[in-house]
A and B are shown apart, each in its own frame.
Chain A
Amino acid sequence: AAGVIQSPRHLIKEKRETATLKCYPIPRHDTVYWYQQGPGQDPQFLISFYEKMQSDKGSIPDRFSAQQFSDYHSELNMSSLELGDSALYFCASSLAFVGSGELFFGEGSRLTVL
Chain B
Amino acid sequence: AQSVTQPDIHITVSEGASLELRCNYSYGATPYLFWYVQSPGQGLQLLLKYFSGDTLVQGIKGFEAEFKRSQSSFNLRKPSVHWSDAAEYFCAVLHNFGNEKLTFGTGTRLTIIP
A residues in contact (CB < 8 Å) with B: 31, 33, 41-45, 48, 50, 55-56, 58, 90, 92, 94, 96-97, 99, 101-108, 110
Contacts and interface: CB of A to CB of B under 8 A. Distances in A.
Interface stretch (B15-23, B56-64, B79-87, B92-100): B92-100
Given A94-B100, A97-B97, A107 B90 contact: no
Contact of A97 (B32, B45, B98, B106): B98
Binding site secondary structure of chain B: strand
Given A55-B99, A96-B99, A101 B51 contact: yes
B101 A48 contact: yes
Interface of B: 32, 34, 36, 41-46, 49, 51, 90, 94, 97-107
B49 A42 contact: no
| Most chain A beta carbons < 10 A, residue from B98, B101, B103 | B101
A8 to B, nearest CB: 14
B100 A102 contact: yes
A104 B99 CA distance: 14
B103 A56 contact: no
Given A42-B106, A96-B99, A101 B43 contact: no
A105 B57 CA distance: 21
| Most chain B beta carbons < 10 A, residue from A44, A45, A96, A103 | A103
Given A42-B90, A42-B104, A42-B105, A102 B99 contact: no
B42 A102 contact: no
